[in-house]
Amino acid sequence: MTERVSAKGRWRRRLKLTFVSIFGVIIVAAAVGLVYALYPRTMPQTQTIEARLQPAELDRLRMVSDFDQIADPTARSIALFEEAGRVIEHPRCMNCHPRTDRPTQTETMRAHTPWVTRGADGGGAPTLRCSTCHQAENFEASGVPGNAKWRLAPIEMAWQGKTLGDICRQLLDPARSHMTREELLHHMAQDELVGWAWHPGANRKPAPGTQEAFGALIKAWLDTGAGCPR
């Protein structure tokens, strides 16, 4: 009887030692894992997004003097506007002149993502303003464009789906353009929101030429009678 009790005691001690050993191994393994996880490492070197972007090719606009050989003033005026129309019909401008309350984006002028609407003042709905994402300047890290005046043109100034001639007549109609001819020239030649089209950021292709060259074409067009294509 005494031998049985003694054997049972030895078995219990061995079992206890086994459990203690296993538990100790687990504790040591956990400690090693924790030390490994917390051990400082050299972070990989970062690379800016801008370094991966390819510069866009620039298209030139013809100079006003290039149209001097056109003798007929109306024909010259129309030709000047058609050259300026390369800017007007460019996606950088067209995307902000949609025919619906939703802007478009990219070179393909696809519907804006996320879903946003014009709102009462062209700056978006109260629940999602344009300024939520579009700040005062381009944010190169994410590629989101920006300008302090970022907003859609009035619906009366929708250009998408219209011919260049229709847009021309629309620009000259104060009821739709909301501008006099003097204000129109200032808008095209000096407005910084229009000027964004030549500094769109990221890898977007800018509008042809420069704002200065575009403004000169618009001025010459107005000075020669503001003729419109059919």
Please state the φ and ψ torsions of residue 101, each to the nearest 5 degrees: -85, 5
Q: Say yes or no to pLDDT of 213 above 90.
A: yes
Element holding 122 (H helix, E strand) = none
Please state the φ and ψ torsions of residue 110, each to the nearest 5 degrees: -80, 165
The encoded tokens of residue 95 equal 């995307």
* Surface-to-core class of residue 161, CB atoms within 10 Å of its CB (0-12 exposed, 13-18 middle, 19+ buried): exposed
114-157 residue pLDDT tens? 999 999 999 999 999 999 999 999 999 999 999 999 999 999 99
93-122 residue pLDDT tens? 999 999 999 999 999 999 999 999 999 999
The three-class DSSP label of residue 194 is helix
What is the crossing angle of helices 181-190 and 211-223, to 10°?
160
The encoded tokens of residue 181 equal 């001819």
Token pair 């993502």 is found at 113
Q: Say yes or no to pLDDT of 160 above 90.
A: yes
Average pLDDT, integer, range 184-194: 98
Q: Is the pTM of this model over 0.85?
A: no
The three-class DSSP label of residue 169 is helix
Separation CA 79–CA 85 (nearest Å): 10
Q: How much is the pLDDT for 64?
A: 99
Cα of 203 vs its chain's centroid, Å: 10
Separation CA 143–CA 163 (nearest Å): 31
Separation CA 130–CA 81 (nearest Å): 31
Average pLDDT score over the chain: 86
The encoded tokens of residue 45 equal 């070197």
Could you count the other beta carbons within 10 Å of the beta carbon of residue 142? 9
7-56 residue pLDDT tens? 556 666 666 666 656 765 676 566 655 545 444 444 334 333 343 344 44
Q: For the chain, what's the residue count?
A: 230
Q: Where are the alpha helices (DSSP H) in 89-162?
A: 91-94
Q: Report the candidate in 210, 116, 229 with the shortest Cα–Cα distance to residue 168.
A: 229
Separation CA 94–CA 161 (nearest Å): 10
**β-bridge mates for residue 111, sequence order:** 104
Q: How much is the pLDDT for 58?
A: 73
